[in-house]
A and B are shown apart, each in its own frame.
Chain A
């Protein structure tokens, strides 16, 4: 039944208008912007591909990239297993107080990145910080003046991010675990399967789609790390740029030095990185599914 169907367009109007103006237009414009050099938003000069050429050999950019990759790897290989572990613990049938535990573990993710950064800055202090003092108490050889935010910035950020996000990812894993059919598990138990076997061959494959989703989300978020580092290092990249991340470099060049063109080119390189990661991840998952 074809009638003059304007209702859907009215419903979509806000989305379409704002999307065109504030997403599509800037997206197209950024392609041109990345080929310019600017001094503030009002003063631009055309430079062609010079930004990208410079980017390829820009040591600061590569430092930012290596830092970001280190952080993403830390998140991937530490945070996700911890989240999964917590979910497995909480998934125990008949566990009392599950709701309370879940709330406690989830609470840090409500704090918000800028506030987590402010909260953790004194924890990482040398000599007087909570972390150094605690580690020193349990392991007497731990140097009490361990310089987290000067020398081991990415490690400190991984720890802070672990605290903040483990609970968040745990919730996803928990939902996935609770969707695993009890019949499958019981069948395995009847067959005499041990806990590890149950986990590896039944649970893990069942939650693979969610795990894949959570992983992708986590890696993409890690690659866009900015606030945690910037605020914890006092609005800077830290000594020797040890805390410099890709988005922080984008922010510094675009909004502290005023070159929005270069910032745009960094943005494009970041986008390409993220799309590649998403594609690779999809490949890996597909191959796993086919097995």
Chain B
């Protein structure tokens, strides 16, 4: 029995290591690409060839691409991405937790109806709303504004659903009743009692929202036309072809674009995964 286990492990470990390497190769390729000049780019797969140590041209590694990125105003795009993603995340968490709380813990006529509404909304595919949504923004005069981009998505049904799930089980009714008896107002109960109990879900949904907005391409592409307002996803795509598809530049841009999300993820890892899978596993 021990031998079988050890034998199995002897296969599993190397297998995992191989898969891990395969997974990391595109990252390495991206990093190496970002450090090469445009002309060296296609010559080698990873670092530029040369006379240095290990046959690598260490002297040809360059940070020029990053410098050029900022000359091309990536800084503004980065600011826009940070702004849109973080504000969207904070506001969605606020509004969705409020909505989820009402559906989970408050008794009122119409609760069933609104719950059904939320569940139905989960089925509506995003692309269906693209065209009419765009026309609505046009009619409201919100095209090419941050408001126009953010407002429609501030209370996703998915968020309300997640918070409802989290609160149904995670917030004991007795606690709320006790607080009510003590004379606390509804708002106070919500903010001081309930929210701390769903801290993990808040962290998870902040991350989900942040990432969702950060990586969203189609919405800013449609709504935002001024380069001053565009986030990284759109801005980086616009850089392509401006100088004859400079892949090295694009690689540098990609690194710059994914780093913030990666960093924040490292902080919110546990909650994020728990939040994602929690909704599914408990169902």
Q: Interface of A with B (CB < 8 Å)?
A: 5, 7-12, 14-16, 18-19, 21-23, 25-27, 29-30, 33, 38, 41-42, 86, 89-90, 92, 95, 101, 103-108, 110-115, 118-123, 125, 128, 130, 133, 163, 167, 171-172, 175-176, 179, 209-210, 213-214, 220, 224, 226-227, 231, 234-235, 246-247, 250-251, 254-255, 260-261, 263-264, 267-268, 270-271, 274-275, 278
The answer to the question of B181 belonging to the interface, with a C-beta cut-off of 8 Å to chain A, is no
Chain B residues with CB under 8 Å of chain A are 8-9, 12, 15-16, 19-20, 23-27, 29-30, 33, 41-42, 45, 95-96, 98-99, 101-103, 106-109, 111, 114, 117-118, 121, 123-136, 138-139, 151-155, 157, 160, 186, 190, 211, 214-215, 217-218, 221-222, 233, 236-237, 240-241, 247, 250-251, 253-254, 257-258, 261-262, 265, 269, 273, 276-277, 280-281, 283
Q: Is the CB of B269 within 8 A of A130?
A: no
Contact A175 B258 (CB under 8 A): no
Interface of A is mostly: helix
Q: How far does the alpha carbon of A261 sit from the alpha carbon of B131 in the complex, in Å? A: 8
Q: Is B129 within 8 A of A27, CB to CB?
A: yes
With a cutoff of 8 Å between Cβ atoms, the chain B residues found around residue A5 in the complex are: 106-109
Contact across chains for B218 and A227 when beta carbons are under 8 A apart: yes
- The interface residues of chain B lying within 8 Å CB-to-CB of A128 are 42
- Assembly CA distance A38 to B33 (angstroms): 44
The answer to whether A89 and B15 touch (CB under 8 A), given A11-B99, A18-B155, A107-B23, is yes
Q: Is the CB of A118 within 8 A of B254?
A: yes
A110 and B273 contact, CB distance less than 8 A: no
Closest B residue to A278 by CB, please name it. B123
Task: Assess the B16–A90 pair: CB atoms within 8 A.
Answer: yes
- Residue pairs across A and B with Cβ atoms less than 8 A apart, 11 shown, are A22-B129, A30-B131, A42-B138, A104-B20, A118-B237, A118-B253, A119-B251, A250-B130, A264-B132, A270-B125, A274-B125
